Structure 1
Amino acid sequence: MLDANHASILANKDQLITKWITVAPADQKLRRKLARTAISLVMPAFFITGLAACNEDNNGINGMGGGIGTGDVSVGSVYSKVNFVPAGSYVHGSFDESAAEIIAFHPASRRSFVVNAQNKKVDVIDLTDINSPTFISSLDVADIGSTVNSVAVHGDIVALAVQANIKTDKGHVVLYNASTLERISSIEVGALPDMVTFTADGNTLLVANEGEPDDDYIIDAEGSVSVINIIDINRPIVKTASFDSYNSQKQSLIDSGVRIFGQKADGSMSSVAEDLEPEYIAVSQDGKTAYVSLQENNAIALIDINSATVTGIKALGAKDHAQVSNELDVSDKDGAIHITTWPIMGMYMPDAIATYSIGKKTYLVTANEGDAREWGNFSEEMRYPKGQVNTGKYDASACHGLDCADKKALGRLAFSSVMGRGNDGLYNTLYSFGARSFSIWDTENMSTPIYDSGSLMEKYIAEKYPNNFNASNDNNGFDNRSDNKGVEPEGVTIGQVGSQTIAFVGLERISSIMAFDVTDPINVKLLGEINTRSFDDAKLSAAHAGTALANADGDLGPEGLTFVSSKNSPSGKPLLLVGFEVSGSSRVFELDFLK
């Protein structure tokens, strides 16, 4: 229990945070001052149960955030830089076969568990010596389903999300003992379980059942979230958070900005429950609320964990690339780095998400990848719709003296065909996929992010890798991805280092990992970046051909990231474990934080 002095401090802190919320976003100076004052008040007062507890059971990769402190809290930021030191790696399979995707860690056995979609198993790797990862065995679920999509670890329990042989059928979560690798049980969940995570106390498993349509778009399975009570590991209790109750609210959801437009091959429209596709889950510090990314729908669903009900669906909107600081390079045919403003909107459409807390406030971090919908004969992706745009808006003056349809202007960028079209048939607004950034959202008001990295990532890559700017993860070509999501942030995880909260973001295409200090969510700082690819075309070709290891040109296509605290690290230093799907490699990075 808090004494009166501590309670008073917290009350003042909460008042400051409340005042901070009401301050206009444009008044950044005042907002930063209020946030720093609140942090300085609460951090010396008492030890907040935080991310260290989560890291102990390795929930970082699964979207778990944490509080602002542990037992070694000090006021304010301490470290201004991080060096990523590449340690060992393990190659799980062939090039571009998704042989290394999601990765989890079991501190007690010093093992990583890596989803290997190529062999449809989870590979178990010994990381006792982080410079020499050693294969132990694989967890095989061929008797249950077709492939593993996700893995999570808490305590001595490993949970695998396994999709059915027919992906629109119900899938399973399969539990193993992390030390003995013996199977404990199999639990039926919804269609296409795509991501699994634990609550911080380990009592509940949450599963994002994506419910994608079949390849012909004849069947559109319902999306849902399974909430599994595993207090008695041998008698799990499953509840389903369904979106069925929102079927009658379809138009109001569309009006609010949620993208719902699925149409099956027979011409019938998908219901709300069918159209929503849960992708990734992050859990609040108190374990009461789950936040679920609905990537294709450009929205976040809120789940009350205790009752397993959906309590809200929040549209995320789009960022204005016409604004300074939101610039981007839109063409792969201009032969140059040309990061500038354009009269278009970028839908956030996050893939991975994570949470962290400051006091009682929960913040959501999103990796704004973007993803178009394409099933059967339907594809929403289009190039610039020449002759179908509002020429009063999309003229040469808006496109830096070029015809907006020019391939050096907007003519090469991928847009959504279902967004921004008026009753006159003309596109008044053009929406591209993804925001080429990561964002931080106040979960109490998700109408707009309180922080967005804007064009920072693309500008950083342009400066550091000018000869391979916006290269893809299987192609070293200059400017290759400028017309399609750029660096493409996909993975994110949160780590706690002393008093600082660090967000690690994986850039799927250029294959970099970036670290940001997000302790103050409105004053985010870049701490460092790592990229282990060599950009050697001969090595890349050999990897393609299978005449060299899949990672011959380096680690390509970061998918899953997990942070390991120094307390749980085999080396005694913080680690970042990353699964690279294109190079099929899982890599250990040792983290040196510098003042």
Structure 2
Amino acid sequence: MAPAASPLLPVVAVLALTGPVLVAAVPRRLASTINFDSSGVASSRPESFSMRSRVYVPYDANANGDSYAFGMGAAEQVAYDDNEKYLYAVSEQGAILVVDYSNPASPRVKDELHVSLAGRKLTDIEVCSNLGFFMVGEGAADTVSNGKVNFYSTVKRATPARPQQLHEVEVGPLPDMLLPNSDCTKVAVACEGEGRMNSADNTLTDPQGSIVVLSIALQDGVPSPTVISHSLSALYPSQSDFDQEMLDAGVHLPLSKNAMTYWNSHSAISADLSWDAAIAGYNTATNLEPEYLAWSSDDSKVYVNLQENNAVVVMDVASGTMTISSLGLKAWGPSSDGIDVINDGGACVMEKYEGMETLRQPDSVVAVRVDNQDYLITAEESDDKEYGDYEEKWKLKDAIDKDGNVQTGDLTGFTASAAATTLAQAVHAKQHTANSKESKLRITMGSTAVDYSTPEAPQIKKVLPFGGRGFAIYRVTPAGSLERVVDSGSMLEKLQCQHFPWAHNAVQDEEFSPVGGTFYNSLEDGTKLKEDILELNEDDCQTGSDPRACPMQNTTDGRSPKDGAAAESIAVGVACGRLLAVVTTEKQGTIFVFDITTINSPEVLFVEHLSPASQTMNPGEAYVEGANVGQSTIGEIDPESIIFMDADHSPSGKAGVFVAGAWSGSVSFWEFECPQEPTPAPTPAPTQESTEASRAGVLASRWASMGVAGLLALVCSLA
């Protein structure tokens, strides 16, 4: 991986916190930011990385033992209490599930300890082990009203009891992530503020994204947080429309004010949109949506990832300053490693395209300090916006055809630059060579690709696909900006091709759920997702006369025109004395381990697949729903939550990683095996002869050092 130059990165908001007496400082909690000194590190890396155990988690809190099904989001996020050795999972169905890891080789689901929050939208969970509580994020039912952070008591091993709610506080809309600092005296909350279309009247409600910091105090052992919230409108407090400032900084706006005007008033779908009120009350902060968080190692800054905006915010907690800047675009031209955007049935061919770039759009970000220098590591997944009939994401063939013509039937009034048409024709030509079809490469119609300065006549400036398909490492400068020092290029795709060619840019997700299964039956008739499941189950992958969704090996290359090897999660920690980064891909379920001890020169150590059974089995076959879930062979599908466990916090005493599959509802624990330290040879017991010889040698050495004059003086003194 060649080091790469980088644009400056964002710096964002901040909060000065006051309130009740703060809790006393405690040792750094599990998953707090690593401060690593590379001098004198172990010369030997981990010898192996293997799964120690897997457990399937129920999707609700019923104690009947049969609430197990694929696609129900049973393990959306997980957190581990290293003091009591219990793992907690939050389910999309509104439940907090408890797993006992006192025996890490055989974890046990504790039905009697689950908490039912049926009907509530749970988003995240974090544990403050030493303070005896955990927190759960909760979005409002309509997603656009304010959400909550709920505080619960942890399960105590000496006297196990169901967690009890201790407190709750109101925060901004859709608190998508919670993250305590190193001693749990503060908790940062990313309130995404995701928009919502009203299907009854086609209006749009889109709250502003915000960052909340909770200052934690204990009153009689119960957390009593002080809440301070900062809307991202504080970037430009004197103006509501600061789109141009964002565009000038390279920040991606999925739906700028001018873009809203085009789609609402001039497009082919304008009759299906009623956005007049949303445009009249527009604030650029509605486009800015916090997704993921990381604390600096000294707890002075919070890094806030804005995934859809391809930008990061850095919050300086002491000064309250707020800055935002773009992560930039990833180039796939002649000097790159190449990219596979062609669905040709599985061929792993990395092509280079003059002028092609992609949005990076990381999901997970993690901070680390190495040799007194701060870094930010990003997992470049991709994301896009969709409101009713408006979709930011388009297929290339539906925007510009193989002859370079804009499809003005759908894109009324649109034109395209020469650079855009040239690249479109090049991609179409590659796809046509593969299967005589036009390209379905997904491209953005957002502000980085389309010039909406004249709303009635937009121009496609560039053909711009989604996602960086890898990871990147940024150095945090003293001024708080970011400089890219590592770009993984197409390494993840190439490693997948090398180790698991059947998983190359393949896909397994909730759409592969079985028809008639629990998840399918939970969906309302007529919804797009239910129709997609039915369509995929009617593919040509059959068992006898029974149509089934395809296994992963039949979907190879399916994500190539979309986001490829989309890196979803990343975690960093120390194992065997080395600094390691663990990366997972969303749709394929591949897990990579890199040695980043030399931070600007990562080296791959291990590549494993989380669900080998998915090669030949679809979820309906590999996941046994109900009470016989233990017969399942499926692994982690959609590994959205991973936790790096150093040896001191690990349930087994060995460094490892928890991996949770949201759709598979499974949690696996993987361990690193360190090299054995060489045993020193025993020292033989001294004999009388060896002792006398040793003494004689010592005397001879002393006499030699005294010289002739010294010896004469010694003799005279004895005379």
Q: What's the TM-score, normalizing by structure 2? A: 0.69
Kindly report which structure 2 residues correspond to 1:311-460, keeping only aligned pairs within 5 A, or say none: 311-333=322-344, 335-342=346-353, 343-384=355-396, 385-386=399-400, 387-388=405-406, 389-391=416-418, 394-395=421-422, 399=426, 402=429, 411-418=439-446, 419-422=448-451, 425-444=458-477, 446=481, 448-460=483-495
- Using a 3 Å threshold, how does the CA distance of structure 1 residues 539 and 334 change in structure 2: closer, same or farther? closer
2:159 paired with 1:199 = no
- Using a 3 Å threshold, how does the CA distance of structure 1 residues 493 and 536 change in structure 2: closer, same or farther? closer
Kindly report which structure 2 residues correspond to 1:234-383, keeping only aligned pairs within 5 A, or say none: 234-247=223-236, 248=239, 249-260=242-253, 261-262=255-256, 263=260, 265-267=274-276, 268-269=278-279, 270-306=282-318, 309=320, 311-333=322-344, 335-342=346-353, 343-383=355-395
2:211 paired with 1:225 = yes
Q: Counterparts of 2:425 and 2:142 in 1: how far apart (Å)?
A: 48
Q: Counterparts of 2:212 and 2:116 in 1: how far apart (Å)?
A: 20
- Using a 3 Å threshold, how does the CA distance of structure 1 residues 496 and 544 change in structure 2: closer, same or farther? closer
Moved more, 397-406 or 237-246: 397-406
Kindly report which structure 2 residues correspond to 1:6-45, keeping only aligned pairs within 5 A, or say none: none
What residue identity is the alignment partner of 1:167? T
Q: Deviations over 1:50-70 (max 9, x none)?
A: xx964xx322xxxx421114x
**Which blocks of at least 5 consecutive residues in structure 1 are unaligned?**
1-23, 27-51
Match of residue 30, structure 2, among 58, 64, 68: 58
**Which blocks of at least 5 consecutive residues in structure 2 are unaligned?**
6-25, 58-67, 157-162, 261-272, 407-415, 510-550, 677-719
Shift of 1:228: 0.5
Aligned length: 536
Any conservation in 1 of the 2:370–2:599 contact (CA below 8 Å)?
A: no
Match of 2:122 in 1: 148
Match of residue 588, structure 1, among 669, 686, 694: 669
- Using a 3 Å threshold, how does the CA distance of structure 1 residues 410 and 173 change in structure 2: closer, same or farther? farther
Moved more, 74-83 or 571-580: 74-83
Shift of 1:165: 2.1
Match of 1:571 in 2: 652
Kindly report which structure 2 residues correspond to 1:460-475, keeping only aligned pairs within 5 A, or say none: 460-474=495-509, 475=551
What residue identity is the alignment partner of 2:466? F
Match of residue 107, structure 1, among 45, 67, 82: 82
Match of 1:506 in 2: 584
2:101 paired with 1:127 = yes
- Using a 3 Å threshold, how does the CA distance of structure 1 residues 292 and 401 change in structure 2: closer, same or farther? closer
Any conservation in 1 of the 2:495–2:607 contact (CA below 8 Å)?
A: no
- Using a 3 Å threshold, how does the CA distance of structure 1 residues 538 and 591 change in structure 2: closer, same or farther? same
Higher helix share: 2
Any conservation in 2 of the 1:551–1:583 contact (CA below 8 Å)?
A: no
Match of 1:519 in 2: 597
Shift of 1:306: 4.4
RMSD, aligned CA: 2.9
Match of 2:53 in 1: 88
2:168 paired with 1:186 = yes
What residue identity is the alignment partner of 1:101? E
Shift of 1:573: 0.6
Shift of 1:258: 1.0
Shift of 1:379: 0.6
Q: Counterparts of 1:470 and 1:400 in 2: how far apart (Å)?
A: 18
Any conservation in 2 of the 1:468–1:535 contact (CA below 8 Å)?
A: no
Match of 2:702 in 1: none
- Using a 3 Å threshold, how does the CA distance of structure 1 residues 149 and 498 change in structure 2: closer, same or farther? same
Q: Counterparts of 1:290 and 1:88 in 2: how far apart (Å)?
A: 34
Secondary structure, aligned partner of 2:607: strand
- Using a 3 Å threshold, how does the CA distance of structure 1 residues 185 and 84 change in structure 2: closer, same or farther? same
